[in-house]
Amino acid sequence: MSILSVRALSRTYHQGTQTIRALDGVDFNVDAGEFTALMGPSGSGKTTLLNLIGGLDRPTSGVVEVEGRPLRGLSPGALSDLRLHRIGFVFQSYNLIPVLSAYENTEFVLALQGVPAAERRERAMRTLAAVGLAGMEGRRPSELSGGQQQRVAVARAIAGDPALVLADEPTANLDSHTGAELIELMARLNADQGVTFVFSTHDPKVQEAARRVVRLVDGRIDGDEQRAP
């Protein structure tokens, strides 16, 4: 079943007198349990596509449906609720809340979801252990390495049990070894816990882990291949 359905999606920006077509009629579905890489050079529209899917940005035309629910017409508050409950985000530059510890960054999403305190604690601890950060729960982002921070970001994204995790160039700020470890972690979470991932990258090594690779060029889909795990 499709968790995500994108139809004829376009997004144009105006810069002075220039019109930039960041996305140009993209059609794209994601089923539950997929581990999909969006490949493409800088400026091909990967980030724009992920922002539109997550409801952070609004399309110029076209449709985005998450679990059959169209995003068009949702208020900023309703979009916030959708992200909180159904979509996890991992960003290129970690983007943790600096005043919260690793544990609190993870627990924060659960608290916003209204999960009771005892369950929250258990789930946050379990999630941090699953991303390999047991024992580092009390550290603030400034006390963690880049790879560790990105693991916290993954923990925060999956803690709330979303239908879909969107990761925008999650390995871009990491060295190749740490980047490979992170993708391995995401692949394991996908295989073991069935978390659906859509991540963008332009690193050919990273895409090797993906079971589906969607290629974007100049805002259009240029290829969509399934791979054996």
Partner 1 sequence: MRFLLAMAWRNLWRNPGRSAITALAMGVAVALSMATLALQDGMFSEMFQIMVEQQLGHVQVHPGGTRTLENTLHHGEALTERLEALPSTLAVSPRVQGFALLSGEGSAVGAQLVGVDPAREPAVSPLLSKRIRGEALPVSAARRVLLGYKLAEKLQAEPGSELVVFTQGADGSLANELYTVAGIFRSGDAALDRAGAILHYRDLQELLVLGDQLHSLTLLARDKTALPAYAQQVRDALGDPSALVQTWREASPETAEMMSMQDASSGVVLGIVFVVAAFGVLNTMAMSVFERTKELGILRAVGVRPGKVVGLIVLESLLLSGVAGLGGLVLGGALDLYLVRVGMDLSSASSDGFSFAGVMLNPVIHGEVRPLGVLLILSSVVVVALLASLFPAYRAARLDPVEALRAE
Contacts of 87 (CB under 8 A, 6+ apart): 53, 54, 55, 66, 162, 163, 164, 165, 166
Q: Tell me which residues in 94-133 interact with partner 1 (CB under 8 A).
A: 95-100, 104, 107-109, 111-112
How far apart are CB 42 and partner 1 at their closest, in Å? 14
Strand partners, 178: none
State how far the Cα of 99 lies from the Cα of 169, in Å rounded to an integer.
24
How far apart are CB 133 and partner 1 at their closest, in Å? 18
Position 139 contacts partner 1 (CB under 8 A): no
Instruction: Rank residues 17 and 75 by Cβ distance to partner 1 and give the closer one.
Output: 75
Residue 177 sits at φ, ψ, to 5 deg, of -65, -50
Position 138 contacts partner 1 (CB under 8 A): no
Region from 28-36, 37-45, 74-82, 180-188 binding partner 1, contact rule CB under 8 A: 74-82
Contacts of 47 (CB under 8 A, 6+ apart): 168, 169, 200
* Alpha-carbon radius of gyration of the chain: 17
Position 20 contacts partner 1 (CB under 8 A): no
Which parts of this chain interact with partner 1 (CB under 8 A)? 51, 54, 56-57, 76-77, 80-85, 87, 89, 91, 95-100, 104, 107-109, 111-112, 156, 160
